[in-house]
Structure 1
Amino acid sequence: MSLVSVVYKSVFRRSSTFALAIVAGAFGFERIFDPTCDAVFAYINRGKLYDDCKATFAAQGGAEEE
């Protein structure tokens, strides 16, 4: 039995299992894609983000009060 026939019989044969596979796939994709994009953004902008400059702002006394 080939992999294609096993996937067809277990997922694509019924609409309910196909819809569940789509929902589960979207959830899994989101759980992987979001942290990956955050890590790439932090890597590209390292040294420019607040978390990187927090010590500098604390040493200056924070924001000026009016």
Structure 2
Amino acid sequence: MKKLFLCAMMGVSIMAFAKTMAVWTSTCGVKHYTTFPDGWTYNQMANAIATINEAECGVKPSVSLNLN
């Protein structure tokens, strides 16, 4: 029973880290750390960042991702 519980906990931990994080600075100068689900495309991430920036700063920028 303990092994099953431990394996379940490890599975949850691994699933929790299956995400993509973007670090970006809005046009207002605020640094953001945004986490996206692992299945999102780069286009979806760029659109989400642009929408967040628009809500925060009033400007919808063109977002390009640096994948380094």
Please give the range of the TM-score, normalised by the shorter of the 2 chains. 0.3 to 0.5
Higher helix share: 1
Higher strand share: 2
Q: Which protein, 1 or 2, shows the higher relative CO under an 8 Å CA cutoff with sep ≥ 6? A: 2
Q: Please, what TM-score do these two structures have when normalized by structure 2?
A: 0.37
Q: Please, what TM-score do these two structures have when normalized by structure 1?
A: 0.37
